Amino acid sequence: MLAIHKIFWNEAISKVRPIRQNEPQATMEGLDQVKSYVKAYEWGGPTTTLMMYHLKELSKLIKPGDTVCDLACGPGSLLLELASIYPDTKFIGVDLSPIMLNYLKTEADRLQLKNVSVLCEDISVLPSFIGKQVDLVISTSALHHLPDEATLRNVFKRLKTLIKNDGGFYFFDFGLLKSQKSQEICVAEVAKLAPPITVQDYQVSLQAAFPISTVFQIASEEISRPFMASSSALFDFFYFIQTPPRTTPSHNAKAHMKSRRKYMTLSMKTELTFLQVLRKRKTVNHKTQNNSANSQIGSIPIQSLD
């Protein structure tokens, strides 16, 4: 389990945030790299806590009959999990890595999931969706792969025409930590369960993360519908940007999550509780503008996050 107190101390004494460093390679092209990434997302692995949390949150956003677009889906570990829970929902995985999308499609066929398709496109443009809309857009641990703030802005701006009026979105990623020691603590924790290639990728990804205040600022300027932006308390470790719940968790979703809990150790269950508590303690509702009469929700200045 992460040594939260050590990260908090290192972040508190670090006064200057480092400059974000782009990943040397935005997409995974090697088969060994892809297999290592998938291994890290197996139940019982280092991402189990996050996977469980995402399932819980998305069970309140996904409806039967929806079309869900997963931006920068990679090999689709979360997408495949969701597709098995919601057989009447269409899932589209979008990524720039052909080898990752090929893995996703192969796995979907092996699992006989007929509700999964893939699309190799830039998530900031999505030309195949021009004139088309989806019900839900999701993206988890992926925005840090983007090359710059301008591309991040385009991703949020694209939501205006991509999502239906009654649709929603769910974004999760980690923020740029101040301390090198904090990053080392995070990497060491992942190294306990993940293959070496994935550990190296994670280290690079931490350095490529956007500052959370920057992400929230751009989102507030470009997203034209009500949303909630929340980050971790104590230090800028992770953030969520999402619309309010659209439904209640189905019986099938609840049963699936219950079956997956058997893969969670006591440490993972404790991490899940920490994740919930840390998020709840620092939540901001942004006021946005759109054409609907009830399009405004209370706001707190972005500056209060820093």
CATH number of 224's domain:
3.40.50.150
Per-residue burial over 209-245, b = 16 or more CB atoms within 10 Å of its CB, e = otherwise: bbbbbebbbbbbebbbbbbebbbbeebbbbbbbbbee
Burial class of residue 129 (count of CB atoms within 10 Å of its CB; 0-12, 13-18, 19+): middle
CB 81 within 8 A of CB 55: yes
Q: Is 61 helix (H, G, I), strand (E, B) or coil?
A: coil
Kindly report, residue by residue over 183-213, the tens digit of the pLDDT.
999 999 999 988 888 888 899 999 999 999 9
pLDDT at 302: 31
Q: Is 93 helix (H, G, I), strand (E, B) or coil?
A: strand
Q: Does 271 fall in a domain?
A: yes
Number of domains comprising the chain: 1
Alpha-carbon gap, residue 201 to 136, rounded angstroms: 28
Per-residue burial over 39-69, b = 16 or more CB atoms within 10 Å of its CB, e = otherwise: bbbebebbbbbbbbbbbebbbbbbbeebbbb
Q: Does 145 fall in a domain?
A: yes
pLDDT at 291: 41
Q: Residue 27 belongs to what domain range?
A: 4-300
Q: Does 103 fall in a domain?
A: yes
Is 90 exceeded by the pLDDT of residue 259?
yes
Radius of gyration of the chain (CA): 18
Q: Does 168 fall in a domain?
A: yes
The DSSP annotation for 109-176 comes to: HHTT-TTEEEEES-TTT-GGGTT--EEEEEEES-GGGSSSHHHHHHHHHHHHHHEEEEEEEEEEEE--
Of 101-105, 199-203, 289-293, the range with the lowest mean pLDDT is 289-293
Tokens standing for residue 266: 């006591």
What's the average model confidence in pLDDT over 61-67? 97
pLDDT tier at 306, thresholds 50, 70, 90: very low
Q: Does 305 fall in a domain?
A: no
301 Cβ contact partners less than 8 Å away, ≥ 6 residues apart: none
Q: Which of 34, 49, 66 is nearest to 272 (CA)?
A: 49
Q: Does 306 fall in a domain?
A: no
pLDDT at 193: 86
Is 60 exceeded by the pLDDT of residue 239?
yes
Rounded to the nearest integer, the mean pLDDT of the chain is 89
